[in-house]
Amino acid sequence: MANTILLLSLATILLATASEASPPELKSGSFYSPPFEMTPGKVVFDYFYGVDFPTGHLAVKTFRADLVDDDDNVIPFHEVYLHHSSMSRYYQAQNYSIPSVLETETLPYSETGGFVYRRNDGICQSDILGQYLGLGTEMQSTPYVVPDPYGMEVGDPAQIPAGRDLYNVSVDGLGRELDQFGEPLPDDYYGGLSCCYAHTRCKVKEGFHAPSRMIRLRYSMTWTEWEPSIVPVRVYIFDITDEMKLKVSRDTGAVTAEHDCGLEYMVESCHVNGPKNNIIAAAEDDDDDKRCADFQKTIVPMPNGGDVIFGLTHLHGGAINSTIYGQDGRVLCKTEPIYGEGEEEGYIVGISTCQPEPGSVWINDGEMIVHETVYTAARRRTGVMGLFYLLVADRREDALTPPATNSFLRLPSLLAEKVTVGPGVTATSTSGAVVGVGLLLVAAVVLVVVVGKRTKTGGGCTWV
Ligand SMILES: *[C@@H]1O[C@H](CO)[C@@H](O)[C@H](O)[C@H]1NC(C)=O
Ligand SMILES: *[C@@H]1O[C@H](CO)[C@@H](O)[C@H](O)[C@H]1NC(C)=O
Ligand SMILES: *[C@@H]1O[C@H](CO)[C@@H](O)[C@H](O)[C@H]1NC(C)=O
């Protein structure tokens, strides 16, 4: 098992002023990560900062990513497994330097606020799942699409923190007992993310040799200059392992949610511990793949609802489907994995996406949404994931469908908190000249890429 993880981060200095009134011209381009070397079994987990990305105040319209070799050929997953690739945003002070490559799951820490991570609108704790684009292998054939009149806004000069604001970047939550940080793994941990980090080397078949290869991530996108007629989308990533706790303040009665997204979980085989509750109704003579299924459900409040514009999921091999339901049980978005063929059999190479007619599917503010992920339980699967990526936009004023009148659970203080500042970044405006450091921050974009190779048998951290 080899696992390569690569994270790209881009610094885009925004000097552009407001765009002219001409209709936005669709531009397209392909960009590349710095090359990295793979040898059999090798795990690469890199964060690349300052990679190429179009500059200016933009609307991203489509995005996809592939691993390519020196000749720009796409590399199949049975040769190199792309575990994750994603793109995030940050602000960087003009005189603050960030290494072009960082390893392991840690953001550059800056006491002065020279680095500020700008997470998406999602609800996981700290900077967890804070990216704007990108999940996993499904990106090979599943582009991210933001249809007209919507756009994913990047590089708005007005949003760049500047002047005497001091930003504290918290990296709490990143040091979760992962063994890359020297912490022991629980006894019942049989394999997953915690086994695969920079400089680990997974066991390969005895006698297996292959030359080292230089690999890059190619990310292709289309975009336009931003203009006022474009409706911005909000980016949410829901995690099926989120163990949310609601807390009510004794003093004010305010309700806050504490999210705890664990990213991965284990599906136990339906053959363990006698008769299972995960046998689903199916013909007696169906094989276990059809008869045993593991259902996970998580219920979380939608901070800031609106029209559903686009949805897709990140699932691992063995996944059957994943769905988001509204509080009243209506299906908001259902996705199913597309499995590879031939040598890529068993790998997820794509995901069926949701792109509803804008205005036809919506979520109310504060609505409790149900996130469901179904895996086959014919055998144990370690380190599986259920991430739901959802783009949502403000409801159109001419929307024909009125807002639902159900008495949804509303959590006003929680919502306000989640919408303004992403967890993990505490922004404190300091008045006057109390703080001696004046930071000029420039906008930046982070592209995160994770690449790896999994064995189909899995199980435990088996390093060389
Ligand atoms: C930043 O964090 C430090 C350490 O937690 C704390 O002492 C300081 O007050 C914080 N500053 C601001 C502006 O939040
Ligand atoms: C997901 O798959 C399971 C198992 O096949 C099935 O019972 C369920 O109805 C599916 N969910 C949806 C929303 O179709
Ligand atoms: C550059 O950073 C240092 C601290 O690292 C700070 O003292 C100085 O004021 C900064 N200069 C500018 C122009 O922001």
pLDDT at 18: 41
pLDDT tens per residue across span 421-457: 222 222 222 222 222 233 444 545 444 444 444 333 3
Which among 82, 121, 9 has a CA at the least distance from the CA of 419? 121
Reply yes or no on whether the pLDDT at 43 is more than 60. Answer: yes
Tell me the range of 52-56, 72-76, 204-208 where mean pLDDT is highest: 72-76
Going by alpha carbons, the residue nearest to atom 1 of ligand 3 is: 95
Quick check: 296 and 265 in contact, CB under 8 A?
yes
Going by alpha carbons, the residue nearest to atom 9 of ligand 3 is: 437
pLDDT tens per residue across span 323-356: 999 999 999 999 999 999 998 888 898 999 999 9
* Cβ-based neighbours of 339, under 8 Å, separated by 6 or more: 317, 345, 346, 347, 348, 349
426 alpha carbon, closest ligand: 1
Does a cis peptide bond (omega within 30 degrees of 0) precede residue 157?
Answer: no
Going by alpha carbons, the residue nearest to atom 6 of ligand 3 is: 437
Question: How close is the Cα of 72 to the center of ligand 1, in Å?
Answer: 46
Task: Centre a 10 Å sphere on the Cβ of residue 456 and count the other Cβ atoms it contains.
Answer: 11
Which among 55, 48, 50 has a CA at the least distance from the CA of 13? 55
Residue 181's alpha-carbon distances to 88, 194, 195, in angstroms, are 23, 10, 11
* Cβ-based neighbours of 382, under 8 Å, separated by 6 or more: 189, 190, 191, 192, 266, 458, 459
For the chain, what is the mean pLDDT?
Answer: 74
pLDDT at 100: 79
Higher local confidence (pLDDT), 388 or 409: 388
Ligand 1 atom showing the smallest separation from residue 426 Cα:
14
CA distance 334 to 96: 43
Going by alpha carbons, the residue nearest to atom 2 of ligand 1 is: 168
Question: How close is the Cα of 389 to the center of ligand 2, in Å?
Answer: 19
Confidence of residue 364 (pLDDT cuts 50, 70, 90): very high
Going by alpha carbons, the residue nearest to atom 11 of ligand 2 is: 321
For residue 420, give the 3-state DSSP assignment: helix
Quick check: 353 and 323 in contact, CB under 8 A?
no
Could you tell me if the CB of 168 is within 6 A of ligand 1?
yes
Question: How close is the Cα of 124 to the center of ligand 1, in Å?
Answer: 22
CA distance 147 to 145: 6
pLDDT at 462: 62
Task: List, in sequence order, every residue forming a beta bridge with 322; answer none if it has no partner.
Answer: 335, 373
CA distance 276 to 260: 28
Q: pTM surpassing 0.95? A: no
Average pLDDT of span 24-31: 94
Quick check: 388 and 238 in contact, CB under 8 A?
yes
Question: How close is the Cα of 436 to the center of ligand 3, in Å?
Answer: 9
